[in-house]
A and B are shown apart, each in its own frame.
Chain A
Amino acid sequence: MKEIEVTVTFPLAQGQPFHTKEAPETPAGIVRAAAMAHFGIQEEANSTYYLTHGGSRVDDSTTLADIPGESKSVKFTLVKELVQG
């Protein structure tokens, strides 16, 4: 099956959005990890990072093919959520 063009934006990014092409069976977690590396982000105890699509959280196990309404390209937003209250 054809690869899917993936774009990940991050509000706090210093540079350009992350772009890649991935197989439809690629889990979102793989994309998230690659995007975090692109943006120079490391996991932190006080924050969690995840992808959203259309405002909804995307679990790491969700494959690109599972993203509703998308077949050729998909756009995610990388979210940094503060853990402490």
Chain B
Amino acid sequence: MAAVALDLESQLNLLRDSQEVVELVAAHDGVVACDAVDRGLYWLHLRPATAVAESYYVRIVWERYPAAPPSVKFADAIGGRLDLTSAWPIIPGYRPGSFDICQPFTAEGFLIHAEWRQGPDRWPSTGNPFLWVTEILQRDLDHRYQGRSG
């Protein structure tokens, strides 16, 4: 994905909210990295609680923050390939074959389900949505993880 020129307000909001994300991920022995050029691009190195030897690398791209949901993809390393199904965990709602997560917290999910933009599934732009998205990813890895995709 080409770097998106993230507006200054979004950059400042992300800088503020990412602090709590770092604390959460570090508490789970993970790592957060922000791209040096694209300020809306973050990488999370997460581990399932039940399989701590496994590493998953999540690329999160914000085009507007906190107004719009992020693109969420798994890669084989920080800055790595995004076209490998083996980079993905098997978790209900995660679709390695389509390289997306069909849930109402990703840009990919809202693209597929336009009806989610209204009603209870609408994107929550209040508080710290970056932390919320990260909590979902970590919780899914901890409690809904079924192994690595082939």
Binding site for B on A (CB under 8 A): 10-14, 44-47, 55, 79-82, 84-85
Is the pair A11, B120 in contact by a Cβ cutoff of 8 Å?
Answer: no
How many cross-chain pairs have Cβ atoms below 8 Å apart between A and B? 40
In the complex, whether B139 has a CB less than 8 A from a CB of chain A is yes
Complex partner residue of A12 from B27, B103, B132, CB under 8 angstroms: B132
Q: Mark B122-150, 1 if CB is under 8 A from A, else 0.
A: 00101111011001100100000000000
Chain A residue numbers with a CB within 8 Å of B132 are 11-12, 80
Is the pair B127, A11 in contact by a Cβ cutoff of 8 Å?
Answer: yes
Binding site for A on B (CB under 8 A): 20, 27, 92-93, 103-105, 120-121, 124, 126-129, 131-132, 135-136, 139
Is the pair A11, B128 in contact by a Cβ cutoff of 8 Å?
Answer: yes
A85 vs B104: C-alpha distance in the bound complex, in angstroms? 10
- Min CB distance B83 to A, Å, is 24
Going nearest first, the 3 A-B pairs with the smallest beta carbon separation are: A85-B92, A12-B127, A85-B93
Is the pair A46, B120 in contact by a Cβ cutoff of 8 Å?
Answer: yes
Complex partner residue of A82 from B20, B103, B127, B128, CB under 8 angstroms: B103
Is the pair B127, A44 in contact by a Cβ cutoff of 8 Å?
Answer: no
Is the pair A13, B103 in contact by a Cβ cutoff of 8 Å?
Answer: no
Is the pair A11, B139 in contact by a Cβ cutoff of 8 Å?
Answer: no
Complex partner residue of B136 from A44, A45, A82, A85, CB under 8 angstroms: A82
Given A46-B121, A80-B132, A85-B93, do A14 and B126 touch, yes or no (CB 8 Å)? yes
Chain A residue numbers with a CB within 8 Å of B126 are 12-14
Is the pair A11, B93 in contact by a Cβ cutoff of 8 Å?
Answer: no
- Specify the chain A residue showing the minimal Cβ separation from B92: A85
- Min CB distance A20 to B, Å, is 19
